[in-house]
């Protein structure tokens, strides 16, 4: 059954959505230009409506009692608001226990919708979007071809807050390389401090073969950071964060550990844990 409703054997959903039923509605990313992203895995496409309806049918048999559905696709929120509203209704027909929906989005997918559309999506059950900030530095965003500025992202988050839709943000540690590590940490904290995300998920930059960034590494124009330097960058980011009511986590610490805590209450605890790791591993 699962083979017929998912294109790939492995499905990627954010850790916070592990309890959601994953519904494939799109493949790949409509932007697909970030130089660090393994976007070549799938060309972008929105599945035909009849295939999505088939997937909903299959999902209802696999997860008859789920209360939340996660729409798969690197930025499924690129779908038009009327299309999403129709799909929410189709899910509810087959899975009456479903109450909420979540999906990945780019900030410009939010900006392309009106305040009224965002409001109707929230009323129809859209509960949360998972959005990659990657960096708060405009120069790093431009260099890595994210196609968005920090200001555009802030505007998108403001619209979501007005509509009452939660958002979870992702940051890529090491995205500035050795040369811009400090700038990356400080500017990212500055951006995040103007937002109200439910969670901030930090991930260490991975260099995927075949990406433009891997070619930059080979050419010597981008110097990736050592794991301990990335950890020091995480510390600087966290130290400068003033966000409230937010879960902070890094699932890639030294490629081995996960750090997680509530901000601001557990900030000192997290910083002490990072300091312990830095001192322990520095002497190994
Ligand atoms: S927006 Fe996200 S999924 Fe799309 S190319 Fe950039 S990093 Fe990859």
Task: Supply the residue whose CA is at minimum distance from atom 8 of ligand 1.
Answer: 37
Q: Is 69 in the pocket of ligand 1 (CB under 6 A)?
A: no
Task: Supply the residue whose CA is at minimum distance from atom 6 of ligand 1.
Answer: 34
Q: Which phi and psi angles does 36 have, rounded to 5°? A: -100, -5
Q: Is 81 in the pocket of ligand 1 (CB under 6 A)?
A: no
Measured CA to CA in angstroms, residue 97 lies from 29, 63, 100, 187 at distances of 30, 10, 9, 42
Half-sphere exposure (CA, 13 Å, Cβ side) for 273?
16
Can you list the residues of the chain whose pLDDT is less than 50? none
Residues 164-220 pLDDT 10s: 999 999 999 999 999 999 999 999 999 999 999 999 999 999 999 999 999 999 999
Report whether 130 contacts 17 (CB < 8 A): yes
Confidence (pLDDT) at 42: 87
Q: Is 132 in the pocket of ligand 1 (CB under 6 A)?
A: yes
Number of domains observed in the structure of the chain: 1
Task: Name every residue whose Cβ is closer than 8 Å to that of residue 142 and which is 6 or more positions away in sequence.
Answer: none
This prediction's pTM: 0.96
Token pair 């540690």 in the structure block, residue: 173
- Domain with 40 in it: 2-282
User: What's the CATH code of the domain at 216?
Assistant: 3.20.20.70
Burial class (CB within 10 angstroms; exposed 0-12, middle 13-18, buried 19+) of 92? middle
Confidence (pLDDT) at 40: 62
- Select from 132, 141, 145, 169 the residue to mutate for testing ligand 1; criterion: most ligand atoms less than 8 Å from CB: 132
**DSSP annotation of 17:** G
DSSP-assigned beta bridge partners for residue 248: 200, 261
Q: How many CB atoms lie within 10 A of CB 15?
A: 13
Confidence (pLDDT) at 284: 60
Report whether 23 contacts 91 (CB < 8 A): yes
Q: Is 73 in the pocket of ligand 1 (CB under 6 A)?
A: no
The tokens of 69 are what?
């559905």
Ligand 1 midpoint to CA 280 (Å) = 35
Q: Is 37 in the pocket of ligand 1 (CB under 6 A)?
A: yes
């Amino acid at each position: 059954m699962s083979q017929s409703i998912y294109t790939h054997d492995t499905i990627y959903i954010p850790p916070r959505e592990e309890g959601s039923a994953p519904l494939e509605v799109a493949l790949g990313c409509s932007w697909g230009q970030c130089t660090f992203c393994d976007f070549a895995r799938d060309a972008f496409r929105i599945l035909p409506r009849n295939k999505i309806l088939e997937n909903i049918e299959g999902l209802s048999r696999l997860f008859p009692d789920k209360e939340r559905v996660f729409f798969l696709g690197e930025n499924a929120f690129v779908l038009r608001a009327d299309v999403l509203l129709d799909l929410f209704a189709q899910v509810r027909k087959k899975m009456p226990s479903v109450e909420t929906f979540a999906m990945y989005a780019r900030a410009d997918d939010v900006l392309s919708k009106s305040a009224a559309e965002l409001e109707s999506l929230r009323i129809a059950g859209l509960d949360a979007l998972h959005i990659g900030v990657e960096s708060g530095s405009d120069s790093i965003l431009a260099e890595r071809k994210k196609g968005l500025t920090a200001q555009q992202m802030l505007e998108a988050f403001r619209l979501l807050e007005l509509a009452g839709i939660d958002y979870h943000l992702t940051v890529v540690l090491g995205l500035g390389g050795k040369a811009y590590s400090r700038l990356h940490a400080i500017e990212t904290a500055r951006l995040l401090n103007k937002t109200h995300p439910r969670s901030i998920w930090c991930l260490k930059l991975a260099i995927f073969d075949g990406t433009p960034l891997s070619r930059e590494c080979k050419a010597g124009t981008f110097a990736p950071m050592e794991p301990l330097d990335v950890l020091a960058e995480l510390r600087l980011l966290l130290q400068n964060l003033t966000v409230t009511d937010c879960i902070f986590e890094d699932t890639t610490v030294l490629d081995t550990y996960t750090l997680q805590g509530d901000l601001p209450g557990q900030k000192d605890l997290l910083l002490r844990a990072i300091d312990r790791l830095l001192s322990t591993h520095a002497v190994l």
